[in-house]
Amino acid sequence: MLDIRNITKVFGGLRALDDVSFSVPAQSVSALIGPNGAGKTTMMNIISGMFPPDEGSVSFNQDVISGLAPAAIARRGLSRTFQHLELFGEMTVLENVLVGRYIKSRSGFVASGLRLPSVRAEEKENRERSLDILASIGLAEKREERAANLPLGEQRILEIGRALATEPTLLLLDEPAAGLNIRETRDLGEMIVRLNADRGITILLVEHDMDLVMRISTAITVLNFGQKIASGKPSDIQRNPDVIAAYLGDEEPPC
């Protein structure tokens, strides 16, 4: 579904990514892991179009998407969350999700200002769908809260909810468990598995929590200093000596 081919990205003198290739199969829960500074977030930003790669290409459903604007990529069904949260803090929880519905609706300035019947119908549908999403992620009761007032864990969940509202076929999650406690992380893991199983959304996640990654992902790619050092099933990755060395520098497994 997503093919990363020979991606290289250089910042100043630093090769943040060096000839990295991997692919994300449809319906999978794939993970991109690696120590700090391995280039994971850089890869996420390249896939979602935040900046272009210096070399290589990204294909999504067989079409090359590297070079397209982030908005154009989002409209193709690839949505993402952010490691450093990018919520619309002054808007309510429900409104955040409703913004996600933007590309799935059409009411323009004049029609909305006049509140034409078509606008009312569309608003009603968007509202229902957004409330469904909030119910499925457990935030229905907080729908009228300002997003900035939510605790960190719920803000991360809300980012996922907002991304879901765009009806993506591929969802990129950038460190969704960062700052969450053990219980919240477990709930998050269950939610990701559910999204994958029930809605058929392919997931690519960047994550530091090895326990979570090993539990929910079906395929893992490991980066270290911008280079791919391994890829495979969780059980293979756990035993891979290069991965163990990259994480710990000795022979203990990474989790």
Partner 1 sequence: MTREHGIALLILAALVLAIPSIVTDSYVMTLMIFSGINAIAAIGLCILMGSAGQVSLGQAGFYGIGAYASSVLSQSFGLPVPACMAGAAIVSALAAVILAVPSLRLKGHYLAVATLGFGEIVYIVLNEFGPGGPSGFGDIPPLSFAGVAITEPAHVAWTVWGFLLLVLVFSLNLLNARPGRALRALHGSETACSAMGLDIVRLKIKVFVLSAVYASIAGSLYAHYVTFISPSSFSFFHSVLLLMMVVLGGITTVWGGVIGAVIITLLPETLKSFEELDVLAYGLILTLSLLFLRRGIVPIVIDKFRTSERGHA
**Interface contacts to partner 1, rule CB under 8 A:** 48, 50, 69-72, 74-75, 79-80, 82, 86-91, 95, 98-103, 105-109, 112-115, 119, 122-123, 126, 162-163, 166
CA atoms of 179 and 184, how far apart (whole Å): 9
- List of residues 6+ apart from 43 with CB closer than 8 A: 4, 7, 17, 20, 32, 206, 223
Q: CA 252 from chain center: how many Å?
A: 30
Task: Output the six-digit token pair for 15.
Answer: 């090769």
CB of 249 to partner 1, least distance (A): 35
Task: Using the minimum distance from each CB to partner 1, give the nearer residue, 98 or 237.
Answer: 98
CA atoms of 89 and 95, how far apart (whole Å): 10
Task: Using the minimum distance from each CB to partner 1, give the nearer residue, 106 or 233.
Answer: 106
CB of 46 to partner 1, least distance (A): 14
CB of 245 to partner 1, least distance (A): 35
Strand 14-24 relative to strand 63-64: parallel, antiparallel, unpaired? unpaired
Strand 29-33 relative to strand 78-80: parallel, antiparallel, unpaired? unpaired
CB of 136 to partner 1, least distance (A): 19
Task: Using the minimum distance from each CB to partner 1, give the nearer residue, 37 or 70.
Answer: 70
Task: Using the minimum distance from each CB to partner 1, give the nearer residue, 80 or 228.
Answer: 80
